[in-house]
Amino acid sequence: MTASAPVVVCDGVTKRYGDRLAVDHLDLAVPPGVCFGLLGPNGAGKTTALRMIYGVTRPSAGRVTVFGLDVARDTRQVRARLGVTLQENALVEALDAVENLRIFARYHRLPRAEAERRIEELLDFLELRSHAGLPVRALSGGFQRRLAIALSLVNRPELLILDEPTTGLDPAVRLALWERVRELRAGGTTVLLTTHYMDEAERLCDRLAILAAGRVVAEGTPAALIRERVGAQALELAVAPGDEARVLDGLDGVRRLRSGRRLVLYAADAAALLETLRARHAAGDPAAVVVRPANLEDVFLALTGTGLEHQP
């Protein structure tokens, strides 16, 4: 494996549960040393894809390679070199943080002295030391989440997989966790994460893949995805669906997105577009007008839809 070879390669990976296709010919390559985001609506196949990458689930078809090793064949070797933080914390709640870390060190069969050294490091790295001796069940959601991430770092993984790492956490804890992820990446760890927070993906990830119905529908850097898929700026208007034709009259090329009564138009210069619309009294309620930079959420909604009817 050369230094620039991808850490994770999914090659035509498919997972079928009965009649349901959870992942459909997924092709993915995660380069080393980056933070790679896997986005997609609920049920898009993100967690199933991760489960195949760390080898707990076998693909129905296709092949997953991690560190150049076939995950299905060399499962133990691959897992010894990666760490996974699951969506739900799996902590022993009656035990304290140090005891939980020791249990995970045992899972990896680390020598005891080495385990104790790493536990000390992780208590500092994830700021667990102040409550390290209290039963986990007595501690806050933020502490429990930090501990769950610490558990997945106990084997000093080359690849860290985070399944919705910051769901349900307060802003301060999220910021702190992002900083830790950046530090890990700076130290050479490759990070693969799923998230529903577009701000998280935009700020943290070097590259993204957006999944819908088990397939990659877009891939690239956050900036490139925004530029290519929607444009630089967004103009939000309050326009009833019946008035939409009048608003868009003569604006054929403009990308748009509707969510209820709100219509979002994308353009290189949203202010100029607004002037055009105002000139023909087609901008709707003036108080509801918003001009803002386009963001990843716009890309996400453009690609995966705003309706709920397709979500299982």
Q: Residue 32 or residue 55: which is nearer to another protein going by CB? A: 55
d(CA 186, CA 304): 32
**Which C-beta is closer to another protein: that of 154 or that of 303?**
154
Minimum CB separation of residue 209 from another protein in Å reads: 21
- Min dist CB 284 to another protein, Å, is 48
Residue-by-residue DSSP string for 261-310? TEEEEEES-HHHHHHHHHHTT-S--GGG-EEEE--HHHHHHHHH-S-STT
Length of the chain in terms of residues written:
312
Q: Which stretch binds another protein (CB under 8 A): 31-39, 87-95, 225-233, 288-296?
A: 87-95
Shortest distance (Å) from residue 152 CB to another protein = 7
Interacting positions 54-73 with another protein (CB under 8 A): 54, 56-58
The answer to whether 135 and 82 have CB atoms below 8 angstroms apart is no
Cβ atoms of 58 and 92 within 8 Å: the answer is no
The encoded tokens of residue 285 equal 């309620």
Residues 89-148 within binding reach of another protein (CB under 8 A):
89-90, 92-95, 99, 102-104, 106-109
Q: How many residues bind another protein (CB under 8 A)?
A: 32
Print the binding letters for residues 9-48 with another protein: x by CB under 8 A, - otherwise.
--------x-------------------------------
Distance CA 22, CA 122 (A): 35
Give the strand pairing for 190-194 and 159-163.
parallel
**Does 167 engage in binding with another protein (CB under 8 A)?**
no
Question: Are 93 and 137 a contacting pair, CB within 8 Å?
Answer: yes
Residues that bind another protein (CB under 8 A): 17, 54, 56-58, 75-77, 79-80, 83-84, 86, 88-90, 92-95, 99, 102-104, 106-109, 151-152, 155, 161
